[in-house]
């Protein structure tokens, strides 16, 4: 299933407008759109991000993911090339993490 087939509404940076549209299939489609095919390691990160965001009320930043998810920084860059913080949040159906203000 693709982003179009699932009828996912995205903002101009490609994040889900409505987090409730997220599902494992949606994650696959969002990853596909970024050229990523999800494996177990990706899912460890996605699961961590979703659980952490539910507890904290905000999507975790990159340092938090690398410190608490069990996947280190080097691996995060291999799994989610370029911007792992942003990409992990996007595929997890969360808003863009706030960098600094």
Partner 1 sequence: MQRIVILGAGTAGTTVANHLSKRVEPGTSITVVDPETEHLFQPDLIFVPFGMQRPENTLRPRGGTLKPGVEWVQDRVERVDPDSKRVILAGGDDLSYDLLVIASGSHIHPEETEGLQEEHWQRSIFDYYTLEGAAALSDALANFEGGRLVLNVVENPIKCPVAPLEFLFLADAYFTKLGRRDEVELTYATPLDGAFTKPIASRELGNMLGARNIHVEAEFNAASVDGERGVLRSWDDRAIDYDLLVSIPTHMGADFVSTSGLGDELGFVPTHNHSLLADGHDDIFVVGDATNLATSKAGSVAHFEAEVVVENVLRALEGRSLHEGFDGHANCFVETGSGKAMLIDFNYDVEPLPGTYPLPLAGPFTLLSESRRNHWGKLAFRWVYWNMLLPGRNIPVPNRMSLSGKRTSLLERAAA
Q: Which residues contact partner 1 by CB under 8 A?
A: 58, 62-64, 67-68, 73-74, 76-77, 81-84, 98-101
CA angle 4, 59, 86 (to 5 degrees): 55
Question: Is 100 considered catalytic here?
Answer: yes
Smallest distance from the beta carbon of 11 to partner 1, in angstroms?
12
- Name 16's bridge partners: 10
Smallest distance from the beta carbon of 9 to partner 1, in angstroms?
17
Smallest distance from the beta carbon of 68 to partner 1, in angstroms?
7
* Axis crossing angle, helix 84-91 with helix 40-56, rounded to the nearest 10: 80
The residue among 7 and 101 lying less far from partner 1, judged by its C-beta, is 101
The residue among 1 and 68 lying less far from partner 1, judged by its C-beta, is 68
Distance separating the N- and C-terminal Cα atoms of the chain: 37
The residue among 54 and 100 lying less far from partner 1, judged by its C-beta, is 100
Q: How far is CA 48 from CA 2, 26, 37, in A?
A: 24, 17, 18
Q: Which residues belong to the active site? A: 100
């Amino acid at each position: 299933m693709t982003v179009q087939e699932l009828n996912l509404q995205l903002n101009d940076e490609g994040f889900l407008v409505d987090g409730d549209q997220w599902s494992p299939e949606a994650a696959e489609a969002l990853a596909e759109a970024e050229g990523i095919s999800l494996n177990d390691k990706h899912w460890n990160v996605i699961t961590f991000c979703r659980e952490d965001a539910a507890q904290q009320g905000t999507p975790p930043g990159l340092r938090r993911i690398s410190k608490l998810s069990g996947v280190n920084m080097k691996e995060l860059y291999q799994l989610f090339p370029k911007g792992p913080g942003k990409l992990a949040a996007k595929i997890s159906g969360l808003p863009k993490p706030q960098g600094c203000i």
